[in-house]
Amino acid sequence: MTTLIALESTLIACRRCPRLVAWREEVARVKRRAYRDDDYWGRPVPGFGDAAARVLIVGLAPGAHGANRTGRLFTGDSSGDFLYGALHRAGFASQPTSRSRDDGLTLTDAYISAACRCVPPDNKPAPDELAACLPFLAQEIALLPNVRVVVALGRIAFDAVLGVYETNKPGFSQKPGLLSAPTFAHNARASLGPGLPALIASYHPSRQNTQTGRLTVEMFDAVWTQARMALNARRGETRDTPSSL
């Protein structure tokens, strides 16, 4: 039986996408001046968090000098500072910052994943690269049986979550796109189907969004308040077993 640890080992060894492999390794070799003495991770970045989590957080991809350097999602860059600050205020994270894989940060009732596991040039993975990564997200979801709420950070993550359930849930079309697919909007909540997690959309906590005011602290905190409300609303419900996703 596959476990999260076994999946992590498989994921870290992945070399499916030549463009992403070349880019992640080039970034790790050239380095940013501020981190020239650091040993960059330079590999696919696995998920991180509580294996018993009821909240799954899905981001876009590792940051070039954040997760691609540290080896942990949303760790070592400004996006991570914004995310973990909010998770700490909401009671999901033990501390408001994330600097390295061994900084003592733990998550409670939350698990963080991503649509793409290798840093893409210009933060833009190609459609075929996202498709190659989707099975990793699907396997993580299957190995996180307590998930009741999925928070998608950005449109690409939102579409990746929909892609997992469109492909694997009984009764969902095997063709791309559902006629009744949820629409992406910040802090909007949608259902993935009876017995399946609620899906909450959020703008991504990228520097571009947070520094321009498109995503404020108050707006982001509202997402995690909504996640708590969704958990409370679904208390006592059961979800489909992982094998029936």
- Which domains, ranges and CATH numbers included, belong to the chain? 4-238 (3.40.470.10)
pLDDT value for 2: 78
At position 21, the amino acid (one-letter code) is V
Per-residue pLDDT in tens (0 to 9) along the chain, 245 residues: 579 999 999 999 999 999 999 999 999 999 999 999 999 999 999 999 999 999 999 999 999 999 999 999 999 999 999 999 999 999 999 999 999 999 999 999 999 999 999 999 999 999 999 999 999 999 999 999 999 999 999 999 999 999 998 865 544 333 333 335 688 999 999 988 888 999 999 999 999 999 999 999 999 999 999 999 999 986 654 433 332 33
pLDDT value for 233: 84
pLDDT value for 193: 86
* Average pLDDT in the chain: 90
Beta carbons within 8 Å of 193's beta carbon, 6+ residues apart: 165, 169, 171, 172
Q: Provide the H-helix boundaries in 77-154.
A: 78-89, 127-142
For the segment 186-210, what is each residue's pLDDT rounded down to a tens digit?
A: 999 998 888 899 999 999 999 999 9
Instruction: List residues bridging with 91 in a β-sheet.
Output: none
Residue 17, Cβ neighbours under 10 Å: how many? 23
pLDDT value for 180: 52
Q: How many helices (H) and strands (E) does the chain have?
A: 8, 6
CA 236 to mean position of chain CA atoms = 25
pLDDT value for 177: 35
pLDDT value for 169: 52
pLDDT value for 165: 87
The Cα 145–Cα 150 span in angstroms is 12
The Cα 81–Cα 53 span in angstroms is 21
Longest dimension (CA), the chain: 52
